[in-house]
Amino acid sequence: MSSGKSRVSFTTRGSSLIAAGVATAIGAVVLGETDLLRIAVALIVLCGLCWVYLKLSGLRVHTRHVAVPDEAPIGTPVGVQVALRIEHRLLMVDLVAEDATTGGLTDAPRLGVDPSAATKGMTLRYSTAAHHRGMHLAGGTTATMQDPFGIAEIRVRTTDQVAILGLPHTVRVDRGWLRSLSAQDGLARAGNITALSEPDVDVREHRAEDGLRRVHWRTSARIGRLMVRPDEPVEDRADVITLDTRSKSHFGHSFETLVELAASLARAVTDSGGTVELRTWDGARIGERAFTDSAPLLRALAMLEPDARGEYVATPTPPTVLITTESANLRGLPRARTGHRPLAIVLTHRDESSKGLHEHEHELREHGIGCVHHSAREPAARLFAHPPVLS
């Protein structure tokens, strides 16, 4: 619960009346008009009395903010509840309450408040929404009351705030993208995903000594090669999604597109029962650990910002997916390991291919990395609506 200090000032009407009173008084003195001088003095005294009345009102405002929910995807409405209670010594007229919001949130409305109800305590409610990712603040509350003549006003601003986290937008990902991920040695993720995108059985590649009795035919038919059940459960390893967060690699809206692509793909992996690890171009981990749930990974991506990192740094676990741009410098990018072919999503300036993009794709292919390009101006849903088509 937060309370604020009051400040009394004249309104535009009050300032105009004081100026008129002073001008009238000067004119009355010059002209020797006693009655006109009395009117000017009465006008100035009235303004002063209104100011003193509000100063003596002892208005105090107490607020407590709650956001429901306190995190939501960009553009999704969030309800803000403000528990409001006022204290005052003199008769109060209508009160207007307005919440402050940071630039990333839609503006809060001005709300009329009944002082008698607010004295007992009441709850104000309004909706807001995040314009972009990151942490945003709603509050404090500014309560404004004028005297009956509208000459002076008292403002009380509270400091209580509530944090609202704008999460990255995610889209549905075609199952063909999940089939392209192969984080486990000798395993195909398609063999672990059922038609309902739910975890199936653990399988591995068929070996000569296995014979045919251990073949898991349903998975083999789905993948197109012989797969067998392992003797012991295979330890699940995370799919590594490496993001090019270097500010010099990005243009226009490309960084936000990169985050949306990463969030959508990572969420699809965790929702299908997999584990995903997010890393920056220099190998730094995004978040404290690998993610098995979409909620913490979306929070981590919500706070991601461009940085001034340098060249690519290889990690012990090779990346499954790299997301970069056609402007990026690929210096330091190692060749893919034998039996492992990462997939790179390259964000482009334009919808059509360019000579520079073709050179970029050729360099990735030389490193054993498959390539899919996507215009940074296009929504992520367009890319993930169909299985990846390597260029």
Domain limit, last residue, from 193, 210, 235: 235
Query: Do 155 and 253 fall into the same domain?
Result: no
| pLDDT band of 219, cuts 50, 70, 90 | confident
Structure tokens at 216: 């898991």
Judge whether 255 lies within some domain.
yes
For residue 141, give the nearest of 193, 86, 190 by alpha carbon: 86
Judge whether 246 lies within some domain.
yes
Domain ranges, residue 28: 11-56
Report long-range pairs for 267-271 (Cβ below 8 Å, ≥24 apart).
267/170, 267/173, 267/294, 267/297, 267/298, 268/172, 268/173, 268/177, 268/178, 268/384, 269/178, 269/181, 269/239, 270/294, 270/297, 271/197
The tokens 């461009």 sit on which residue?
306
State pLDDT tens for residues 278-331: 999 888 899 888 899 999 999 999 999 998 877 788 877 788 899 998 888 877
Helix (H) or strand (E) holding 85: strand 78-87
State pLDDT tens for residues 95-127: 899 999 988 899 988 888 888 888 889 999 999
Query: Do 163 and 129 fall into the same domain?
Result: yes
Query: Do 363 and 373 fall into the same domain?
Result: yes
- pLDDT average, residue stretch 164-185: 81
Judge whether 4 lies within some domain.
no
**Does 348 score more than 70 pLDDT?**
yes
Judge whether 391 lies within some domain.
no
Query: Do 225 and 294 fall into the same domain?
Result: no
CA torsion, ordered 311, 317, 323, 324, to nearest 10 deg: 10
Query: Do 18 and 94 fall into the same domain?
Result: no
Number of domains in the chain: 4
The pLDDT value given to residue 327: 82
**Does 157 score more than 80 pLDDT?**
yes
66-70, 150-154, 213-217, 233-237: least confident range? 233-237
- What CATH number does residue 279 fall under? 3.40.50.410
Structure tokens at 314: 């290889």
The pLDDT value given to residue 183: 42
Query: Do 95 and 159 fall into the same domain?
Result: yes
- pLDDT average, residue stretch 267-277: 90
- By DSSP bridging, strand 343-348 and strand 321-325 are parallel
143-152, 230-239, 315-324, 359-368: least confident range? 230-239
Length of the chain: 391
The pLDDT value given to residue 389: 77
Calculate the average pLDDT of the chain. 84
175-189, 289-303, 316-330, 334-348: least confident range? 175-189
| Sign of the Cα pseudo-torsion (331, 319, 298, 385, in order) | positive
For residues 348 and 383, the answer to whether their CB atoms sit within 8 Å is no
The pLDDT value given to residue 211: 67
Query: Do 228 and 250 fall into the same domain?
Result: no
Query: Do 52 and 71 fall into the same domain?
Result: no
Query: Do 139 and 51 fall into the same domain?
Result: no
**Does 258 score more than 80 pLDDT?**
yes
Judge whether 256 lies within some domain.
yes
